[in-house]
Structure 1
């Protein structure tokens, strides 16, 4: 007789025969992010998850990366690359030394001889503990030579050995990089059970706003493959969960299991630890838009509005656009070039630090977020975290991110946006009433609450799969 338990263990009348499965967070995507560079959007969320898992003392929780044909625990240099806070002492890994690391790299090649150049580079970094230089290059060539030798020994047969036989229990919450990678072996089913973060479906719904890169064009098919395989989805907004379900229904695919988790107030928590959340009064009022500058974010609408104000002789506060320059922004650049005086009223900060961004939130008069489509919209929820009102577009996820508390206007309605921005700037009583609404109805979401929801979802997923 067997009995199913909530911790996904299976017991007999005499004793437990299997251990609870691991709950793994994939750090592969963050390994491609340059060290020390500011994180935004998806990388910021993945960094939060990885560091929450590293700090969790629960021995079932792991942080892994997809290397050499399977999800493996992070190497020491990988931990150093992704860690931004405390790591549970038992989880800290030490470099075993060059000789042992090289032996382990050769064993990885023996098991996975069909790897590519990226695999060789990674294995070389494990041997040199992340260091680059002549030693790294020599090691990479040595590993590549051994890979060729293994392939010849196999008679040039590059078919993968069944990974399932040596895969560990899941589920693994895969990174966005794995979801959009050209190498589908990580989600083929052989590397173990997987779950995925569904940040949004923008590449499938609005490819015109993202360009035609390989990752974007394959996103929809990869997503459908995951859902067909039974992988559950983790969504930060109800809107994305509903959109995912509807998208699969239209594709003739059974609805996925969706776990909802609250988006953490990561920046506000950083500010709280530093004691920097109180309001800062500045001499010159300004309006803040925090977002990557790309076509989807609709910065050109704001540029036209501030130019309209100049043409009409109306006084608007300075517009500060905080964020890196992205893609498909040629029309915006052309508009700015055609209206050079506009840059006297609009500031593009480029990439800034968290400390600088916190200062902007603490001192802005109000925020704007006119994006055409979003999965969440950190810039909107962060305005509320810091107690400042924000005008958002009618994109459902933005209304959800701002709790339905803030004015919402269609992203194509320039006159509606112009009127709302002028009213927010000039009608102090209205703006104060929105500040009061935020104080009464909104609370920043602790990172611990988000991590608890993710972890509970992974446990539920493991338990559900163990029944089949």
Structure 2
């Protein structure tokens, strides 16, 4: 990669904050970690604290990157606190003039003065456009998130040297807001995100035995993911028959999900039919993914859909809402059903639960022709894009 004499820095502010809180990596975190894994031998770490942005030395950056990559499985490294204390004692450096800065987690982009800091330092900012859901679907986000995200997007449009979009769908929405605000869109490259290589390792043992038959949902528990729809389906299904397969829900507790959490905890109808795992690392996820009858993805909106790609990559069928981005990244492979048609979803679930399911077999046949995107392909395209800037 030709970056000239410019230093390359990766903003790790988001990852540090989440790792120290012992959170599991989200989809955005996993993208950030993929960039660290690819660039860690040639990049330095950048951290923001308030209005200050500082760089770590190559040695300190290498140590920090190693600990963050150890957190990739969702279990904070036991020495992370010690490492942070050690890093805090090191002399921090000013961010060099003219640096490339990769800010793939949007850290600080909504902070006043971020654009002025970049101009003063002649920063070449490269960002990832994950989605614009807080602007297009604010009803599914925390109060005030639309304003904060609008501020981030305005900084991206006005100051970024280049933008990587995870999908054509996200790029189209970004172009719409650039036109609406009268801002020229920076150079943009649509590069799909890679799937984890779950199929390259033997199936791991997990603490709880896998059920004989189950469906799977993966993602942060929040209204946009539509867990309520799945729970309503399971209640209706249980009212019709007694041998309903298990629904396994893998995801951290997000926002605006108190009602869902209460149903998980106290609804007797769901007690024997739903298993919830809030802390599930890569091995746990891979084990559940590879044994599922199907991954269920009834989301209201998505910017991409890593779980969908990763399920298809290991040969597990997907039943999903017909979102444009799902069709973009998976074509006609999944079975798409409108969430307004609960009867059609129940019919599909009933079919998929049978050992001789015709719908499942049909998707498995379509899956034979599916080629999932890889991180190797992603970074090959990213490198070519960066070299053109």
Both proteins in one fold, TM over 0.5: yes
| Mapped contact 2:163–2:186 kept (Cα < 8 A) | yes
SS of alignment partner, residue 19 of structure 2: coil
Cα separation, 1, equivalents of 2:191 and 2:6: 21
Is the radius of gyration larger for structure 1 or structure 2? Answer: 1
Question: Which structure 1 segments of 5+ residues have no match?
Answer: 1-5, 9-18, 88-121, 144-162, 462-468
Residues 420 and 256 of structure 1: CA distance in aligned 2, closer, same or farther (over 3 Å): farther
Cα separation, 1, equivalents of 2:230 and 2:352: 14
Residues 369 and 63 of structure 1: CA distance in aligned 2, closer, same or farther (over 3 Å): same
Is residue 434 of structure 1 aligned with residue 355 of structure 2? no
Is residue 218 of structure 1 aligned with residue 218 of structure 2? no
Instruction: Identify the residue that residue 52 of structure 1 maps to in structure 2.
Output: 38
Cα separation, 2, equivalents of 1:86 and 1:321: 25
Cα separation, 1, equivalents of 2:335 and 2:171: 24
| Mapped contact 1:380–1:401 kept (Cα < 8 A) | no
How well do the aligned residues superpose, as a CA RMSD in angstroms? 3.4
Cα separation, 2, equivalents of 1:429 and 1:335: 33
Q: What's the TM-score once normalised by structure 2's chain length?
A: 0.83
Deviation at 1:246, TM superposition (A): 1.4
Instruction: Identify the residue that residue 409 of structure 1 maps to in structure 2.
Output: 337
Residues 331 and 318 of structure 1: CA distance in aligned 2, closer, same or farther (over 3 Å): same
Cα separation, 1, equivalents of 2:59 and 2:96: 21
SS of alignment partner, residue 176 of structure 1: coil
Residues 319 and 74 of structure 1: CA distance in aligned 2, closer, same or farther (over 3 Å): farther
Is residue 29 of structure 1 aligned with residue 11 of structure 2? no
Cα separation, 2, equivalents of 1:334 and 1:125: 38
Cα separation, 1, equivalents of 2:120 and 2:336: 46
1:19-98 correspondence runs (5 A): 19-34=4-19, 37-55=23-41, 61-66=43-48, 69-70=52-53, 72-73=55-56, 76=59, 79-83=62-66
Cα separation, 1, equivalents of 2:345 and 2:163: 35
| Mapped contact 1:50–1:63 kept (Cα < 8 A) | no
Is residue 261 of structure 1 aligned with residue 191 of structure 2? yes
Cα separation, 2, equivalents of 1:179 and 1:409: 38
Q: Which structure is higher in RCO with an 8 Å CA cutoff and minimum separation 6?
A: 2
Cα separation, 1, equivalents of 2:12 and 2:57: 8
Cα separation, 2, equivalents of 1:395 and 1:179: 30
Cα separation, 2, equivalents of 1:456 and 1:22: 18
Cα deviation digits, residues 186-242 of structure 1 (max 9, x gap): 6642231212111000111112111114x5522112212321235421111111111
Q: What's the TM-score once normalised by structure 1's chain length?
A: 0.70
Instruction: Identify the residue that residue 357 of structure 1 maps to in structure 2.
Output: 285
| Mapped contact 1:65–1:71 kept (Cα < 8 A) | yes
Deviation at 1:256, TM superposition (A): 3.2
Is residue 447 of structure 1 aligned with residue 375 of structure 2? yes
